[in-house]
Amino acid sequence: MKVSMKWLKQYADIPMTPAEYESRMIMTGTGVEGIEPLGEIENVVVGRVLTCRDHENSDHLHVCTVDVGEAEPLQIVCGAPNVKEGILVPVAKIGARLPGGVVIKKGKLRGVESQGMLCSGPEIGVPVELYPSVGTAGLLIFQEEYPLGADVRPIFGLDDTVIDFEILANRPDCLSVWGVARETAAAMGTELKLPEIKVQEVGGDIHDFARVDVLESELCPRYAAKVVKNVRIGPSPAWLRQYLYAAGMRSINNVVDITNFIMLETGHPMHAFDLSKVRGKHIIVRKAESGEKLTTLDGKEYALNGTELMICDEMGPTGLAGIMGGEESEITESTKEVLFECASFDRASIRITARALGIRTESSGRFERGVSPATVMDALNRACQMVNELDAGDVVSGVIDLYPQPVQPATLTVSCVRMARRAGVDIAPEEMEKILKKLLFQVERSGDQMVITAPAFRQDVDQEADICEEVLRYAGYDRIPITHLRGETPMGGNNDKGTRQQLIRRQLTGMGFYESMTFSFISSKAIAQLGLPKEDERNKPLMVRNPLGEDTACMRTTLLPGLLKTLATNIKNGNENGRIYEMGTIFDAQHRTADGLPTELPGLALGMYGNVDFYAIRGVVEALCQQAGISCTIASCDEPYLHPGRRAALKVNDQVLAVVGEMHPDAAARFDLSGRCYVAQVNLPVFFAASRPMGTVNSIARFPAVNRDLALVMKESQQVGPLMDAIRHGCGALLEDIRMFDVFRGIQIGAGNKSVAFSLTYRAADHTLTEEEINRQTEKALKIAKEQFGAVLRA
Amino acid sequence: MDIRENLAQIGEELKQELAQTDASQALEALRVKVLGKKGSLTALLRGMGQLSPEERPKMGQMINEAREKLTALLDEKQAQLAAREKEMRLAAEAIDITEPRDLPPIGAEHPIQLVLNEVLSCFEGLGFQVAEGPEVELDKFNFELLNLPKNHPARDAQDTFYIDDNIVLRTHTSPVQARTMLTKKPPIRIVCPGRVFRADEVDATHSPVFHQIEGLVIDKDVTMADLKGTLDAFAKRLYGSDIDVRFRPSFFPFTEPSAEVDLTCFNCHGQGCRVCKGTGWIEVLGCGMVNPKVLEMCGIDSSVYSGFAFGIGLERITMLRYGIKDMRLLYEGDLRFLKQFR
């Protein structure tokens, strides 16, 4: 919220530099985004054009002599069409600064020296609000007399500073000059000088002029109105236009400006109706009827659905309550009677309507955050006082004030000791009392107990903790000491899942993998690119109702699309030999928790490309399994995005622990992957369930092992894994290990065959094996190979 | 020539020949020539048969002594040669120690994870237990139990993604607070790291997905000074012992009093620089004393227990920590970026 420093200083002194003020306000809880001069001009003065002749080398330039109150007049070349002798204009002297960082230098224009510049309104940043006769063509010509050489900034009110306050959500009362003045006075320790409100009325009775009925008192707890007759519409005085300009608002006319001034000054949004356009001179506050329409002040038409709170007359809607008035009853040049509305509306109702219609105004923003009904009359009377001051009309006696259930000021009893303990700061009860009184709370203290009544403008205080904060922010957050937690110390540490995930991260780091993080939402299109069967549950993700776009439309059911996108980015960027993983949550919308939430599962996806193959990615997963003490079997899988001849499922206890494989060229193309990529997805819940906790350690065998190498010739189509499994199971306890170490293909062993070399390790725990025992084992292995797999010893 | 002279001559000849031998093969031949079956010393031994029985032991002893001496000479030479040969072999095996080679592959965790690990380790050391909650959350936990009723304007600060009227993508990690308080009895000391979501378009400082870590302590007589002490310990651990914390008044619906926390700028150590916009402080997190209304809604007696909560944006402290200028780098997964965290 932007506030003119001049305006603020009317109500509270600021006896320090802007930087000190900013710091003090921030440390007492009123944020300051910035303090900037209102006008960005320097060294621009009032000057009179003494002479003006045509430039000898130009058909549009003029050469002028200009008196800026110095001994000698300046010679200035000017191209404005309206330049002539005798006019009083703003003159940017040599060295002047203009908006946009422009600096005026001495120069020559077509051979004639120019010692400055005569300025138009836009050139010195003066809009029509600050100087109505500014015009759009040519120089700004002053209408009044000013001393020659005088700084022009005070003439336009640009000699002001704008403070941009950042008001916290619980302090809507501070969305006003009075509000920040109250905080300023308390923070500065200076006197708060709010105006005395006095209204001069001309008699008559408001009830003869207008009638108000509130049909929705829940949504409109208070509605107050005053009537002004013999309205004299005209421009506002300069100071009012300047205050509004500093706040970023446009000046319209004296009556409308008064309502905006009151909103900015008191925080109470107001509205002014042309009473002659209020049909039946009867205001009715009710909900819209479905199908009703309203054209607002900005000329836009809205169709209403029946939930909106409306200000209506006897014929229909004439304003969106608390948001924007209607065009119909707008104040115009010919307005003679005005009804000023000052009301309090339900926060949620205003918020819902403003959001639904997509309108956000200064007024709706304040009502959404809460406008106290208790202070409505102060604002309304202040508006009437302004009518008196600006002589904008005659205030009719009497008020319409519909306030069936007056809000009682919050009164609470608090303990000073408890508050000091909560804050952890030793603050004496006397100091607490002093602070609260400075903040306009009523305080009755007896010893430790204080009975506190909040001021009417504060709606945010209803418990001791709130009072504690009020005390603490003025006692100073810097006074909070540093102490350490006491009492029973719980056992700190990570949970099981976190610890296991961290272990996997470390292992993958050791295997050369980099961790990536991608968004939790993806597009349905990205899932579709995997080419999964229609009925696959990954095709039925949790949808976001209000996504930012297609890319944030649904919660990921698999980490793969995100990972593939990352791989594609890296390949495109020429990064060689990528090894990337992501560990993150995937969302299963088809299986809900008791609360109706989707099931969230930890997932792990890995990707590799470059100098690697299927066995490399399978090996990474197998290595993770080995570390976790999991022995898994390799089975076929039918994930359609993987190469049909290079894909596998790793299973444990009949559950799929991981799927690994090379990307199918079609799917790879859909994800813009050039070259072969290898991916794996690990089902972490299955992985964790199968993980073996660190158990007992086996002692190291004392008797020697014996190795026998066998080369077995078998059909190319024969998988090696099942054969090794069969030998492992068939040979019994003496076979310690079987390892494959070579595969040979060549004409010696016949086309369509392969020779696979194995190394078998035998060992007994309790004796040295005899030759006979070893041979018996080997015979057993050869028999299994031949009978079950048609594999024979290579000749 | 008597045996004595012979022995002397054999010794003399061996010395001369040894001096000219520079290979172990030649040395072995020499050993055979002297000590072998047909060697000169062996021949002398054989000649002892012609000696008288009185002379034999004497001569035998003399020959044996000579054999020991000669053997020692040969062994010494052999050791010399072996040492020299090893030296030559090692010299021949010398390599260019400056030739580059590929390193064993080593990866890295994500920078956010690296910072999270440090933060967790700090709080685990202070007795905090890590807790978790769902990323897709009920409105009740994300807002209502945190004193943010429906249509409360403070919800505006957190542009929310909705699944339906009752389910949201959590906008902060604070719902884990509510879930924990509803299921655990004090004393509670937890930190909850996790992903959160807000409907912000992606730019250099915004992302619709980001990470927070929430802290919650509930116990008897917990004070705002304890909160400051805890965060002070965290700041010093993460950024160094010269880092101080500053509390500024703020507002969050779920804490009262509330504070924004600034840390001494770790770029300029409080002198004022570009990173801290000249203030010497960097805003890092929000915190406060748990609002008694929240305690009561979560079934904890606020007249007995008090507590504090804080929420740290991990992206922010990660970016500050590593001087990362653009948040998008964190989510693109470009290896040229990720490799810098090895």
Q: Residues A143-178: pLDDT tens digits? A: 888 999 999 998 888 889 999 999 998 899 999 999
Report whether A681 contacts A624 (CB < 8 A). Answer: no
The model's pTM is: 0.85
Residue percentage of chain B with pLDDT more than 90: 57
Q: Which fold has domain A42-156?
A: OB fold (Dihydrolipoamide Acetyltransferase, E2P) (2.40.50)
Distance CA A617, CA A607 (A): 8
pLDDT of residue A136: 65
B131 and B80 together in one domain: no
Do B55 and B183 fall into the same domain?
no
Q: Is the pLDDT of residue A132 over 80?
A: no
In a domain, B97, yes or no: no
Domains A42-156 and A411-479 share a fold: no
Q: Please report, as a single letter, which amino acid is at residue A476.
A: G
Q: What's the one-letter identity of residue A195?
A: P
Domain co-membership, B52 together with B155: no
Among B113, B223, B331, select the one facing A424 at the smallest CB separation: B223
| Residue of B121, B123, B130, B315 for testing the chain A interface, max A β-carbons within 10 Å | B130
Across the interface, which of A170, A368, A508 has its CB nearest the CB of B251?
A170
Q: Which two structure tokens, joined as six digits, stand for A127?
A: 């809009």
**Are residues B275 and B146 located together in one domain of the fold?**
yes
What is the CATH number that goes with domain A206-402?
A: 3.50.40.10
Chain B residues whose beta carbon lies within 8 Å of the beta carbon of residue A167: none
pLDDT at A757: 95
DSSP A144: S
* Interchain contact B337–A (C-beta under 8 A): no
Whether residue A186 contacts residue A26, with contact meaning beta carbons closer than 8 Å, is answered with no
B258 in contact with chain A, both atoms CB, cutoff 8 A: yes
pLDDT value, residue A195: 93
**Dihedral angle sign, alpha carbons of residues B234, B240, B245, B250:** negative
In this prediction, residue A135 carries a pLDDT of 66
Of A567, A576, A579, the C-alpha closest to A623 is: A579
pLDDT > 90? residue A80: no
What pLDDT does residue A695 have?
67
Last residue of some domain: B92, B119, B140? B92
Residue A780's alpha-carbon distances to A472, A732, A736, A773, A783, in angstroms, are 85, 10, 14, 11, 5
Cβ within 8 Å, pair A508-B107: yes
The CA dihedral of A781, A784, A786, A788, to the nearest 10 degrees, is -160
Q: For A490, which of B127, B256, B292 is closest by C-beta distance?
A: B127
User: Would you call B256 and A463 a contact, using CB atoms and an 8 Å cutoff?
Assistant: yes
Average pLDDT over residues B78-102: 91
- pLDDT tens by residue, B115-167: 999 999 999 999 999 999 999 999 999 999 999 888 776 676 668 999 998 99
CATH number of the domain located at residue range(s) A2-38+161-188 in this protein: 3.30.56.10
CA distances from A266 to A28, A168, A381, A775, B288 (A): 21, 17, 11, 102, 30
Question: Would an 8 Å CB–CB cutoff place B13 in contact with chain A?
Answer: no
- Strand A102-103 and strand A88-98: pairing? antiparallel
Residue of A22, A480, A554, A575 to mutate for B, most B C-beta atoms under 10 A: A480
Distance CA B310, CA B307 (A): 11
Q: Which residues of A touch B117 (CB under 8 A)?
A: 502
Q: What is the pLDDT confidence band of residue A694, given thresholds at 50, 70 and 90?
A: low
Q: Which of B124, B163, B224 sits opposite A544 (nearest CB)?
A: B163
Residue B63 domain flag: yes
Looking at the complex, report in whole angstroms how far the Cα of residue A473 sits from the nearest Cα belonging to chain B: 6
Q: Is residue B150 part of a domain?
A: yes
> Cβ of B309 under 8 Å from any chain A Cβ?
no
- CB of A496 closer than 8 Å to CB of A628: no
Are B210 and B132 part of one and the same domain? yes
Which tens digits make up the pLDDT trace of A734-754? Answer: 999 999 999 999 888 888 999
| pLDDT average, residue stretch A116-132 | 85
Of A465, A481, A555, the CB nearest to B289: A465
* Residue of higher predicted confidence among A215 and B6: A215
Report how far residue A56's alpha carbon sits from residue A75's, in angstroms, rounded to the nearest whole number. 15
Nearest CA in chain A to B244: A482
Which range of residues forms the domain containing residue B279? 111-341
Interface of B with A in 131-150 (CB under 8 A): 131-132, 134-138, 150
Confidence of residue A219 (pLDDT cuts 50, 70, 90): very high
Please tell me which of the candidates B187, B292, B331 has its beta carbon nearest to residue A517: B331
Q: How far apart are CA A297 and CA A319, in angstroms?
A: 9
**B189 near A CB under 8 A:** yes
Q: Tokens 């107990």 label which residue?
A: A449
Segment A427-438 shows an average pLDDT of 95
| A389 vs A200: CA distance, rounded Å | 10
- Residue A613 pLDDT: 95
* CA neighbor of B77 nearest in space, from B161, B137, B19: B19
How would you write A420-485 as a 3-class SS string? Answer: HHHHCCCCCHHHHHHHHHHCCCEEEEECCEEEEECCCCCCCCCCHHHHHHHHHHHHCHHHCCCCCC
Cβ–Cβ below 8 Å for A542 and B223: no
What ranges make up the beta strands (E) of A594-641? 598-609, 633-635
**A122: closest CA of chain B, how far (Å):** 32
Length of chain A equals 795
Task: Give the domain A411-479 fold.
Answer: Phenylalanyl-tRNA Synthetase; Chain B, domain 1 (3.30.56)
Final residue of a domain: which of B92, B127, B159? B92
Please determine, for residue A271, whether its predicted confidence score (pLDDT) is greater than 80.
yes
Whether B154 maps to a domain, the answer reads: yes
Helix, strand or coil, per DSSP, at residue A178: helix
CA–CA min distance B294, chain A (Å): 12
Phi, psi for residue B220 in degrees, rounded to 5: -80, 140
Q: What is the C-alpha to C-alpha distance for residues A498 and B132, in angstroms, rounded to an integer?
A: 9
Please check whether residues B298 and B214 belong to one and the same domain: yes
Question: What is the Cα–Cα distance from A617 to A680, expressed in whole angstroms?
Answer: 7
Handedness of CA B83, B86, B91, B96 (dihedral sign): negative
Chain A residues near residue B331 by CB distance under 8 angstroms: 517-519
| Chain A residues within an 8 Å CB radius of B183 | none
Please report the pLDDT score of residue A696 as a whole number: 72
Q: Tell me the shortest Cα–Cα distance from A79 to chain B, in angstroms.
A: 43
Residue B175 above 60 pLDDT?
A: yes
Output helix, strand, coil percentages for chain B, rounded to the nearest 5.
Answer: 45, 20, 35
Give the distance from CA B332 to its chain's centroid: 25
- Nearest CB partner across the interface for B129, out of A347, A469, A493: A493
Residue in chain B lying closest to A569 (CA):
B334
Are B77 and B118 in a shared domain?
no
Q: Which of A168, A555, A580 sits opposite B250 (nearest CB)?
A: A168
Residues B338, A478: C-beta atoms closer than 8 Å: no
Rounded average pLDDT over B83-103: 91
Statement: residue A416 has pLDDT above 80:
yes
Q: How confident is the model at residue A346 (pLDDT cuts 50, 70, 90)?
A: very high
Which residues of B are less than 8 Å from A544 in CB distance?
A: 161-163, 169
Whether residues A484 and B167 touch (CB distance < 8 A) is answered with no
Contact A745, A695 (CB under 8 A): no
* A493 vs B contacts (CB less than 8 Å): 124, 129-130
Look at A112-116, B3-7, B68-72 and tell me which has the smallest mean pLDDT.
B3-7
Report which of A566, A565, A582 is spatially closest to residue A527, judged by C-alpha positions: A565
Instruction: From residue A1, give the alpha-carbon distance in Å to each of A366, A457, A759, A783, B251.
Output: 11, 18, 80, 89, 17
Out of A422, A547, A587, closest to residue B136 by CB: A587
- Are A475 and A469 in contact by the 8 Å Cβ rule? The answer is no
User: Is the distance from CB of A297 to CB of A326 less than 8 angstroms?
Assistant: yes
Size of interface A-B (CB pairs under 8 A): 258
**Within 13 Å of residue B228, how many CA atoms lie on the same side as its CB?**
23
Q: pLDDT value at position A134?
A: 65
Rounded CA-CA distance A243/A254 in Å is 13
Predicted pLDDT at B36: 85
Q: Are A578 and B292 within 8 A, CB to CB?
A: no
Amino acid B157: pLDDT = 63
Q: How far is B98 from chain A (nearest CA, A)?
A: 24
CA B107-B110-B112 angle, 5° bins: 155
Residues A697-709 have a mean pLDDT of: 87
Mutate to test the interface with A, among B161, B264, B304 (most CBs of A within 10 A): B161
Domain membership flag for residue B100: no
Q: What's the pLDDT score for residue B35?
A: 84
For residue A157, the surrounding DSSP H or E stretch is: none
Would you call B199 an interface residue with chain A, using a CB distance cutoff of 8 Å? yes
How many CB atoms sit inside 10 A of residue A105's CB?
Answer: 11
Q: Do B303 and B273 reside in the same domain of the chain?
A: yes
Mean per-residue pLDDT over chain A, rounded: 92
A245 contacts: CB under 8 Å, gap ≥ 6: A38, A127, A129, A130, A157, A251
H or E stretch at A117: strand A116-118
Question: Among B43, B59, B92, which residue terminates a domain?
Answer: B92
Whether residues B130 and A495 touch (CB distance < 8 A) is answered with yes
Residue A35 predicted with pLDDT over 70: yes
The predicted pLDDT at position B158 comes to 67
What pLDDT was estimated at residue B250? 95
Does residue B41 share a domain with residue B134? no
Smallest Cα distance from B141 to chain A, Å: 11
Cβ pair A139, A133 in contact under 8 A: no
Q: For residue A637, give every residue at least 6 positions away whose Cβ sits within 8 Å of its Cβ, in sequence order, or none.
A: A647, A648, A649, A656, A659, A661
The phi and psi torsions of A218 (rounded to 5 degrees) equal: -65, -40
The fold for domain A496-690 equals BirA Bifunctional Protein; domain 2 (3.30.930)
**Does A607 score more than 60 pLDDT?**
yes
Note whether residue B105 is domain-resident. Answer: no
List, in order, residues 6 or more apart from B100 with CB less than 8 Å away.
none
Whether the CA torsion A375, A381, A384, A386 is positive or negative: it is negative
Distance from CA of B342 to the nearest CA of A (A): 9
Nearest CA in chain A to B196: A520
What's the number of domains chain B is made of?
2
Taking contacts as CB-CB distances below 8 angstroms, the residues of chain A near B157 are 169
- Determine contact, residues B135/B194, Cβ cutoff 8 Å: yes
CA distance B169 to chain A (A): 8
Contact yes or no for A492 and B225 at CB 8 A: no
Q: Report CA-CA distances (Å) from A227 to A210, A230, A259, A636, A641.
A: 8, 10, 13, 86, 75
Q: From the CA atom positions of chain A, what is the Rg in Å?
A: 42
Q: Which is more confidently placed, A477 or B54?
A: A477
Record: fold of A706-793: Alpha-Beta Plaits (3.30.70)
> Does one domain contain both B254 and B218?
yes
Q: What is the spatial distance between Cα B165 and Cα B149, in angstroms, rounded to a whole number?
A: 13
Query: Which residues in B lie closer than 8 A to residue A168 (C-beta atoms)?
Result: 250-251
Q: Does B249 reach chain A within 8 Å, measured CB to CB?
A: yes
Residue of B nearest to A466 (CA): B256
3-state secondary structure of A230: coil
With respect to residue B101, please indicate whether it lies within any of the assigned structural domains: no
Boundaries of every domain in chain A: 2-38+161-188, 42-156, 206-402, 411-479, 496-690, 706-793
Integer Cα distance of A215 and A288 in angstroms: 11
Residue written as token pair 């709080």: B123
Contact A421 B221 (CB under 8 A): yes
Percentage of chain A exceeding pLDDT 90: 75
Q: What is the pLDDT at residue B335?
A: 96
Beta strands A301-303 and A411-415, pairing class: unpaired
Q: Looking at residue B43, what is its pLDDT?
A: 81
pLDDT at residue A262 is higher than 70: yes
Query: Are B231 and B262 members of one domain?
Result: yes
CB contact under 8 A, B293 and A463: yes
Q: Which of B109, B130, B249 sits opposite A498 (nearest CB)?
A: B130
Range of lowest pLDDT (A123-127, A480-484, A553-557, A624-628): A123-127
Helix or strand or coil: residue A582? strand
Q: Which helix (H) or strand (E) holds A729?
A: helix A720-731
What is the distance in angstroms between the Cα of A27 and the nearest Cα belonging to chain B?
Answer: 5
Q: Tell me: do B139 and B249 sit in the same domain.
A: yes
Pick from B126, B130, B339: CB nearest A494: B130
Residue B53 has pLDDT above 90, yes or no: no
